Chain A
C-alpha cells in the first residue's frame, strides 16, 4: 500500500510548482476552474450561512414561505433562550463536552504515540497479529455491542456520568495507526540506535527522541480526535439519559425532540454547538488541513 504511508516530515512547501515559464501557463487556473471552485465554496459554506439566517429569525419567520434568505435581528435573543432552556442544559453540555473531548484527546495522543512508536520502531512477537486486531477494530461499529456495553456501564454505575462516554474511547485504532505511519518515517532508526547505545531505556527513547519528533502528527491527531469526540452522538445518546447532565450533542437532541420544536432556537443551539469547533478550525485550520493531507493516508 504504497501511497498510504505518510509523507516524510520535511517537504517542499505546498502550492503551485515552481517552474519554467511554460509550466506557469500549464498550471494556470482556467475560468472554468475558478467557477467550479467558487461554486464548491458556496455550496460548502451555504449551510453555515443558512444556520445563521434561521438562528437569527423568529420561529414564525423560520417556518414561512418563501424561506428567509437574510439574517434577522433575533440572534442574541435566540441564543439567550437556548442558554436559558432548562430542558437542554446546553451550558452544562458544553462544559461536559470540553471535559470529555479534552480528556480523550490527551489520552489518544499519549497512548497513540506510545503504541504507534512500539509498532513502528520496536520489535516484538506477535506484532503483526496485534496490528491486524487494531486495524480490524476500526471496522467494528459501536452498534454491534451496544447492548452488553450498556449493561456493563450499568454494572460499573457509570450511567449518566461522563466516564461512560470517556473511558471506552480513550484510545482507538485510528490514533495508533496514524502515529505508527508517521513514526515510521519521521523517526530515523539511527537516532534510536544512538540513544540505545547511550544507554537509554525504551521509555527514555520514547520520551526524549520519539515524542518530540512526533509532535506535528500528534497535534493533528489531537485536533482530529477533539473534533470527532465533540461530535459524538450515538453512544452518548444511549447512556446519558439525564438531561441535567448531557454532552452538547445531547443538548441539541433535547432541543429537537421537544414537542414544541422551535427551529430558531434549535438552530441557535447548533450554532453554539458548532462555534467551538469553528474557532478551533479558524485557529488551527492550516494544521488540520495539513493533517488531513498528510494523514491522507490512514490505512
Chain B
C-alpha cells in the first residue's frame, strides 16, 4: 500500500535532513574519535579552570616536542571553579564529554571519590612509584579511601597575607614584611592591627572580604584541630558539632563587627574593581592568589603589594589534582601526560609561570622555588614564605558536598557584612548548611 511507503519515504527524508543538518553543523573537533590505536596521532584534551589555567603552556610544547604523535588542547581558561565543577560532574556522570585529563580542586575531589569507577586508577599506570614525589597529605587527598589513585597533585595553597605597604605606611603601620608578620602572631592581633589601621585610615578597608579570611582561618584551625571541617571522616555532616567551624565563624564575625571588611564578594566584578581602585589593604593569600592579585591590580599597583606571614601557624587553602576520566579514549597517553605535568619539574615550571606552589617535596626543595622572589610583590621571597611549613602541614579532610555547605556559611557571613545579626546568621548557616549537605 502506498501509505506505508509514503510514510517511510517521509521518514527517510526526515532522517536525511537531520543527517544533513548534523553534518552541516558539526563544528566540534572530534578529537577523541580518532581511534585508540597509539600509532596514529593522539589529541589529548586537558580541562582546567581559573583565568590563566594552570600555567602549562610551555610544558605542553615541551611534551609535544618529546612525543611527536601527541597533540594537546587545553580548555577552560577563564572558567570559574563553580561552572567548571558543575560541568565536570555532568560529564563524568554522563560518561562523555570530559577531557582526557581533568583538573580536580581540593574542595571537590572528595565528591568524585564516590565516582571513582568513572576515573582511571592511576595506580594502574605506575603512579604508586611516584608516591615520594608528593607531600604525604597531598597524596592521601588524591587517593580514595580504598586506595585507588584518583588524581595526582599539582599545587598546594599554603598561606600568607598579602598587604598594601603604601596604605600601611600611610596608616602608621610597619611596612617591612618581617615586622608586619610580627604584628599579628594570632588572629586576634590581626584584628587589633586592623582596628589601628581603621582608626588612621577612613578611606580604605583593612580586608577585602570576610569570607576569604573565613576560609583561611577555618582551614588553619581545622588543620591544627579536628582535621576536618563540615564533614567528619566518615562523611557525616558535623557543621554544628565541629568546634573549629564555629570558632572560625566567630572570629570572622568579630572581624566584621570591627568594621574591617570591604564587603566584596570574591571573584565578583566589584571585587575586581576593588583591586584596581585599591580599596582594601590586605587579602588572605594562598600562593595561587598572587597570580590573581597581579592580574587584577595590574601594573599600576606593582611594588605596592607585599607578602607577610599569616597569623596563626601555617595552613592551606586550595590546590588541585589532575585525573583521567574513564571516558578518555587515550587513557594510557593521558596518564603519561598527567605524570609529566605533576612531576617535580612540571610543578616547578608552573610555579615559575603563575606562582602556584608545588605539592612535590623535591620541587619545594628546588632552588628555583626556594630562592624565588616575586618582583610584583616588592621582591618578596615567595618560595620561602609559602614553602616553609608546606611540608609539615596536616591534611584537612573535606567532605563530598564541601562546596555547597561552604557556600551556605559564606552566604551567612555575607549577610552579617550586610548588617544582619551574627548569632541569627550562625543559626541560618547551620540550617542552610544542613540542607545543602543533605
Direct contact of A and B (CB under 8 A): yes
B91 at the binding interface (Cβ < 8 Å): yes
Q: Mark B94-116, 1 if CB is under 8 A from A, else 0.
A: 11110000000000000000000
A166 close to B80 (CB less than 8 A):
no
A241 close to B78 (CB less than 8 A):
no
A261 close to B269 (CB less than 8 A):
yes
B26 close to A163 (CB less than 8 A):
yes
A150 at the binding interface (Cβ < 8 Å): yes
Tell me the residues in window 33-60 of chain B with beta carbons closer than 8 Å to chain A beta carbons. 50-52
> What B residues does A64 contact at CB under 8 A?
277
A100 at the binding interface (Cβ < 8 Å): yes
Query: Interface size on B (CB < 8 Å)?
Result: 37
Which of B69-77, B135-143, B317-325, B411-419 lies at the interface with chain A? B69-77
A187 at the binding interface (Cβ < 8 Å): no
Interface centre among B52, B75, B80 (most CB of A within 10 A): B75
> What A residues does B196 contact at CB under 8 A?
none
Q: Identify which of B51, B94, B96 contacts A258 (C-beta below 8 A).
A: B51
A96 close to B91 (CB less than 8 A):
no
Kindly state the separation between the CA atoms of A153 and B96 in the bound complex, as whole angstroms.
Answer: 9
Bin chain A's interface residue count.
Answer: 35 or more
Which of A3-11, A124-132, A242-250, A279-287 lies at the interface with chain B? A242-250
B90 at the binding interface (Cβ < 8 Å): yes
> What A residues does B273 contact at CB under 8 A?
63
> What A residues does B80 contact at CB under 8 A?
257, 259
Tell me the residues in window 132-175 of chain A with beta carbons closer than 8 Å to chain B beta carbons. 150-151, 153-155, 157, 159-163, 166-167, 170
Closest Cβ of chain A: how far from B60's Cβ, in Å? 14
A63 close to B97 (CB less than 8 A):
no
Q: Identify which of A63, A166, A254, A259 contacts B292 (C-beta below 8 A).
A: A259
Please judge, given known A-B contacts A155-B96, A243-B75, A243-B79, whether A259 and B28 are in contact too, CB under 8 Å. no
Closest Cβ of chain A: how far from B282's Cβ, in Å? 19
What is the chain A residue whose CB lies nearest that of B95? A154
A260 close to B272 (CB less than 8 A):
yes
> What A residues does B75 contact at CB under 8 A?
241-244
Closest Cβ of chain B: how far from A241's Cβ, in Å? 5
What is the chain A residue whose CB lies nearest that of B276? A63
Q: Mark B19-33, 1 if CB is under 8 A from A, else 0.
A: 001101111110000
B28 close to A87 (CB less than 8 A):
no
Please judge, given known A-B contacts A163-B21, A167-B18, whether A244 and B29 are in contact too, CB under 8 Å. yes
What 4 A-B pairs come out closest when comparing CB atoms?
A: A259-B51, A154-B94, A162-B25, A161-B28
CB-defined A-B contacts under 8 Å, sample of 13: A59-B276, A150-B90, A150-B94, A153-B94, A154-B97, A162-B27, A163-B21, A241-B75, A241-B97, A242-B75, A254-B78, A257-B79, A259-B296
Binding site for B on A (CB under 8 A): 59-60, 63-64, 86-88, 92, 96, 99-100, 103, 107, 150-151, 153-155, 157, 159-163, 166-167, 170, 238, 241-245, 254-255, 257-261, 263
Binding site for A on B (CB under 8 A): 18, 21-22, 24-29, 50-52, 73, 75-80, 83, 87, 90-91, 93-97, 267, 269, 272-273, 276-277, 292, 295-296
